[in-house]
Amino acid sequence: MKKLVFVIFVFLLITTIFSSLSVAAAPVAGQVIINYFWGEGCPHCAEAKPFLDQLEKNKSNLEIRRYEVWNSKENAKLLGEVGRHLNVNIGGVPFFVIGDKYVVGFGSAETTGEQIKQLVEMCEIRICPDIMLQMGVLDNIIEPVARNNEINEKLTQHKINLPLFGEVSLGSGAGKMSLLGLTTCF
């Protein structure tokens, strides 16, 4: 009996600790990221630009990270790493990564553009992974962290009233505990 109580206590303790941790730049439901690799002077990339600009303008939940690869060795190397991560031989640009899916080339807004829109809409419905986060290359990309903090700030403003506990904030952060962590403590 003592062992069972001890195991339950350890399980609850571990659950409490892990449920109160937050992951910086973790994908957020509805938030969509397109990692777009392009080349200066590439005609297909030039055709994709107005489409992407309009898509980004129409969707406030969309972030497009643009990587010019013909004049940047660092971005070209990153493109190669992305190809290895996705297990695809990348032959050229434009190259779009949306979640764990990719699109090579750009024909027109009606063809390739529709394919990109469908992937974006899919990621609006379900959380899609951020390949740059998976690869651990977000060192220089702080925008997702700032956006995640902004969402957390908005959540902190919302509170729920629980019997016995009183008012509980939905946000997390220093000095706060998640609702799951709070409920597993008691």
Task: Report the alpha-carbon distance of residue 94 to residue 47 in Å, rounded.
Answer: 10
Task: Report the alpha-carbon distance of residue 63 to residue 27 in Å, rounded.
Answer: 12
Domain boundaries, the chain: 32-141, 146-186
31: which 2 tokens? Answer: 């938030």
- Give per-residue burial for 156-182: e unless 16+ CB within 10 Å, then b: eeeeeeeeeeeebbebbeeebbbbebb
- In this structure, the number of other CB atoms found within 10 A of the CB of residue 113 comes to 20
DSSP code of 156? H
Asked if the 32-141 domain carries CATH number 3.40.30.10, the reply is yes
User: For residue 75, what pLDDT band results from cuts at 50, 70 and 90?
Assistant: very high
Our CA dihedral for 53, 145, 132, 123, rounded to 10 degrees, sits at: -60
Task: Report the alpha-carbon distance of residue 67 to residue 9 in Å, rounded.
Answer: 49
Task: Report the alpha-carbon distance of residue 87 to residue 50 in Å, rounded.
Answer: 29
Percent of the chain exceeding pLDDT 90 equals 48
Task: Report the alpha-carbon distance of residue 180 to residue 182 in Å, rounded.
Answer: 5
Q: What is the pLDDT of residues 81-128, one digit of tens each?
A: 999 999 999 989 999 999 999 999 999 999 999 999 999 999 998 888
Query: Residue for token digits 């997702």?
Result: 144
